[in-house]
């Protein structure tokens, strides 16, 4: 199967690989696995609490080229969006952007799931009173 140029570009030069501080109350972490293949994706966002805008996003993906490219693209899409806008990012957008073939659609689903998981984690943390968080 041939990967598109865009997949190869993101695979060879992945954007925003790395970690954000999990303990930072403005950081949300999503860790998801694909039942189809066992690949694992970790995606993190850092939100400006004043504006609700995602200022930074990082990922680590243990998986196939399409999963790496999907998460790399996802981190690019996330930056500058509000949390609510980020929730609108659909895997189909990633599929179109990267021209993923049908067998690789689940790799983009993994990215959408990782975004949602990171946002859920951020929201859970931001409604938790600081006193409880340090407990
Ligand atoms: Fe082997 Fe995704 S199935 S890396
Ligand atoms: Fe399973 Fe890509 S995430 S093959």
DSSP states of 57-70: EEEEEES-HHHHHH
Ligand 2 and 64: CB distance under 6 A: yes
Res 134: pLDDT: 52
- Global pTM reads 0.90
Q: What is the distance in A from the centroid of ligand 1 to the CA of 31? A: 16
| Residue nearest ligand 1's atom 4 by CA | 64
Q: Is 21 exposed, middle or buried (0-12, 13-18, 19+ CB in 10 A)?
A: exposed
Q: What is the pLDDT of residues 27-80, one digit of tens each?
A: 999 999 988 899 999 999 999 999 999 999 999 999 999 999 999 999 999 999
Query: What average pLDDT does the structure give for the chain?
Result: 93
Atom number, ligand 1, closest to the C-alpha of residue 66? 2
Go through the domains of the chain in sequence order and give each one's CATH number.
5-125 (3.90.1010.10)
Mean pLDDT along residues 93-121: 97
Longest dimension (CA), the chain: 53
Ligand nearest to the CA of 94: 2
| ipTM score of complex | 0.74
Read off the DSSP letter of residue 104: G
């Amino acid at each position: 199967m041939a990967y598109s140029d865009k997949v190869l570009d993101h695979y060879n030069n992945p954007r925003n690989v790395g970690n954000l501080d999990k303990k930072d109350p403005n950081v949300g972490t999503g860790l998801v696995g694909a039942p189809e293949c066992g690949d694992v994706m970790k995606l993190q966002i850092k939100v400006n609490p004043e504006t609700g805008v995602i200022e930074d996003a990082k990922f680590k993906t243990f998986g196939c080229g399409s999963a790496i490219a999907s998460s790399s693209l996802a981190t690019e899409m996330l930056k500058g969006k509000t949390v609510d806008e980020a929730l609108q990012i659909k895997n189909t957008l990633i599929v179109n952007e990267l021209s993923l073939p049908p067998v690789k659609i689940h790799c983009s689903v993994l990215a959408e799931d990782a975004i949602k998981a990171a946002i859920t984690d951020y929201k859970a943390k931001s409604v938790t009173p600081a006193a409880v968080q340090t407990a």
